[in-house]
Amino acid sequence: MRDVGRCNGAANCAKHHPAMSQFSNQRGRSLLDTLFVLFIVVLLCGVAASALQGLQTSAHLQTAAQDLHSAVLTSRTQALRLEKRVTLCAAAPSSTNNPTLGNVNPSVRCHLSSDGPYGNVWRQGWLMFEDDNNNGIWDEGETRLAQHETLHRTVSASGNATVNRFVSFGASGRSLALNGAFQAGTLTVCERQTQNSNGWRVVVNAVGRPRLEKLLIDDCPG
């Protein structure tokens, strides 16, 4: 006697039991739907991670630019207040660089080389001091006023030929070169080793007033 309750093979089962065929089709569609949803989730996570990284880089750039602008402005204010020359110099690399602005680390020195007219020396941080002998370099016995830590690894900071190593202000608040001439120049902050990136620049005019500008950098130094 034939057993109608049994079938041989998936095809026969589907033929004799339509409900099972429908269930199998639904299970296949559910698997495809799940895979599609997982693909969308992974794609969205990648987009979100990229956007977050971009926001973080932008925040690091803006913070560095604002800090540098503030340091230049404060140096000018200090020169006016103290009625003497105050210099802000690019710091030399130091493994003991203190990461706290204003908490002066005596091991930090001024950078003695600009590494070319657009050398990336300002990214090592900076040092503000009373420049008693007007040489643009901190020397033993000169009062340190403030310093800043090395910038984030994604950030580059450099100066053009006139401010590639220091910015100095006389008692009148004017920016001064070592020979007493006015010292106008531009400090640029941008994303390291990146072309066509957003960046900032601190422009010091002939009377020593700095301003902060946002711009597109064609080629940021490494």
- Which alpha helices (H) appear in the chain, and where do they start and end? 9-16, 18-82
pLDDT reported for residue 112: 79
119 — pLDDT class (breaks 50, 70, 90): low
- The residue among 219, 28, 62, 72 whose CA lies nearest residue 151 is 62
pLDDT digits (tens, 9 = 90+) for 186-215: 999 988 766 667 789 999 998 999 999 988
pLDDT confidence of residue 222? 59
Q: What is the CATH number of domain 59-219?
A: 3.55.40.10
> Would you list the domain boundaries of the chain?
59-219
Q: Is 86 helix (H, G, I), strand (E, B) or coil?
A: strand
pLDDT of residue 168: 97
**CA distance linking residue 122 with residue 111, whole number of Å:** 9
Mark residue 107 as left, alpha or beta (left: phi above 0; alpha: psi -120 to 50; beta: remaining): alpha
Give me the pLDDT at residue 93, please.
66
Mean predicted confidence (pLDDT) in 46-57: 56
Q: What is the mean pLDDT of residues 108-113?
A: 81
Task: State pLDDT tens for residues 136-174.
Answer: 999 999 999 999 999 998 898 999 989 999 999 999 999
Q: Are 168 and 85 in contact (CB under 8 A)?
A: yes
> Of 151, 126, 134, nearest to 57 (Cα)?
151
> Residue 111's pLDDT is what?
84
